[in-house]
Amino acid sequence: MSWSKLKQQLESFLCPALIGKVEYTATSYRYSPDKAGHCYIAVDKKNVLNMSDATTLIRWYQTEMEIKNDPDLYIPITTQEIEAVRKGAKGPIPEDRLKIMARGRKISELAKELISAQSTLSKSNFTVEATKFLASSIEESLESNNILLNILALVDRRVGKKRIVNMKDTIKLKHPSVQYFYELRLSTF
C-alpha cells in the first residue's frame, strides 16, 4: 500500500477531537539507498514520536538501570511473583525483602521489553505495523505489547471514553510514549 493511501486510512480513523491535531508524516530518499526514510507522528505540528531517531520529545529509556531507578514507574507485584522468588531462594527471606526482589525481577523483564520495543521503531516497521493495525481488531491493538499499535488504537475514534477511562491502571505499565498519547486522548473528553 502506498504511503498516501495508508496515511489517508489512518487519519480517517482519528477521533474527531484529534483531527488536525495528530498527523502522520513520512519522508524517504529516493536515490539514497543507505538512508532509510523518517516517519513521524506529530501533535500540534511538533514531531512527538520519531520512528528513526531516539531524540524525541517523549522520554526514551537508554539503559536498564535508568528504568530500575525511575521512581515514577509503577510496577504491580502479584502474589505468584513473590512466591516464585520464595521458591527460588535457598533460605528464609523476610516478606518485605521478597517484594523488593520480585519487583526487581519484574523491572528487569520490563526494561528489556521496553528497550527492544524502542529499537524496532522505524519507517519500514511503521508501514508494516500500521497495515497490521488496519487489518486487526481494536481490542488486539490495545492489548498488544507493540508501542505503535497501542498509540494508533488510543487515537482511534472506535475507542470510547469509557474504555479509555477504564485503561487508567493498565496504561501505567506501557511505554512512556503510549502514556503520552493516552493523556492526549484523555484531554479530548
Domain check: are 156 and 140 in the same one?
yes
Domain that holds residue 133: 3-52+121-186
Cell digits for 118?
524502542
* pTM assigned to the model: 0.67
State whether 48 and 127 are in the same domain.
Answer: yes
pLDDT for 28 equals 67
Q: Give pLDDT, residue 55.
A: 45
**Do 78 and 36 reside in the same domain of the chain?**
no
Evaluate whether 120 touches 18 at the Cβ level (below 8 Å). Answer: no
pLDDT along the chain (189 residues), means of 10: 84 90 79 62 84 52 72 80 86 85 83 67 71 91 87 91 90 85 90
- Nearest partner of 177 among 49, 14, 22, judged by Cα: 49
- Residue 189 confidence (pLDDT): 81
What is the total count of domains within the chain?
2
Q: Phi/psi of residue 145, each to 5°? A: -90, 0
Residues 83 and 27 in one domain: no
Both 172 and 84 in a single domain? Answer: no
Residue 50 near residue 56, CB atoms below 8 Å:
yes
Q: Does the residue 68 lie in any domain?
A: yes
- Per-residue confidence (pLDDT) for residue 184, from 0 to 100: 92
Do 105 and 146 have their domain in common?
no
